[in-house]
Amino acid sequence: MKYKKEFQTAFKVSIPVMMGYGVLGFAFGLLIVSLNYDWYISILMSVFIYAGALQFLAVGFFSTKLGLFDIFITSIFVNIRQSFYGLSMLEKFKNTKNIKPYLIFGLTDETYALLTSIKDDESLNRKYYYLYLSMLNQSYWVTGTILGALFGSLVSFDTKGLDFSLTALFIVLAIEQYKHNQNITPFIIGAVASVLAFIFVPLNSMLIFAIVCSLIGMFIFKKRLQYDK
């Protein structure tokens, strides 16, 4: 296998995501089938949309028969965070050439967390390491979705609480980020922004408000983010 070392390294570092995405994808497949949609709908979404939290929100969109314009606006607000942290990947993806579109498509929160928290091995071909990491992470999500959709088609199952797996995965990745950086400042900024959003804005605007507050906080405490150990 060409670039075997890159694949093996990518697989090793992606194991935490595999554990989370397998369960999350399984839950997503179950939820779609529980709404009496065809099982393959969830698989197509995981292959061509691959948006994690937004896919779970789509379940609610379907069940409430939300209009296309409302779905569009909500989707923009939910995923707008990726336009911010994606900018920090421009340097890493600079020499990836023909695979750059897929790397951009596959840049989920979890993939971003791995790319920014794990030090690059200089002996690896970064282009293919990034590619394998992105592909492996999506394959975990798609595989989980397939298994969940098929299981839901065959067995009646109570899906209550399964969507908390997404929150649990974020917590694990946040802990890994702290262990790598040993800097508490961004976590304090995020916590304060979340509390302010919870207190002062409606539920449907909390995410974008918290993101804006976090960005303001990061600009204010830029030096602490760079130099705290």
Lowest mean pLDDT among 81-85, 97-101, 123-127, 188-192: 81-85
DSSP string, 83-145: HHHGGGGTTTTTT-GGGHHHHHHT--HHHHHHHHHSPPPTTS-HHHHHHHHHHHHHHHHHHHH
Residue 214 and residue 118 share a domain? no
Output the CA torsion sign for 79, 80, 81, 82: positive
Residue 164 and residue 87 share a domain? yes
User: 209 with 226: CB under 8 angstroms?
Assistant: no
Range 87-116 average pLDDT: 88
Residue 63 and residue 167 share a domain? yes
Task: Say what the pLDDT of residue 3 is.
Answer: 82
Residue 170 and residue 118 share a domain? yes
Range 82-92 average pLDDT: 80
Residue 84 and residue 11 share a domain? yes
User: 161 with 56: CB under 8 angstroms?
Assistant: no
**How much of the chain exceeds pLDDT 90, in percent?**
30
- SS3 state at 7: helix
Domain residues for 15?
A: 4-181
Q: What is the pTM of this model?
A: 0.71
Residue 186 and residue 128 share a domain? no
How many domains does the chain contain in total? 2
Range 182-209 average pLDDT: 85
CA distance 176 to 118: 9
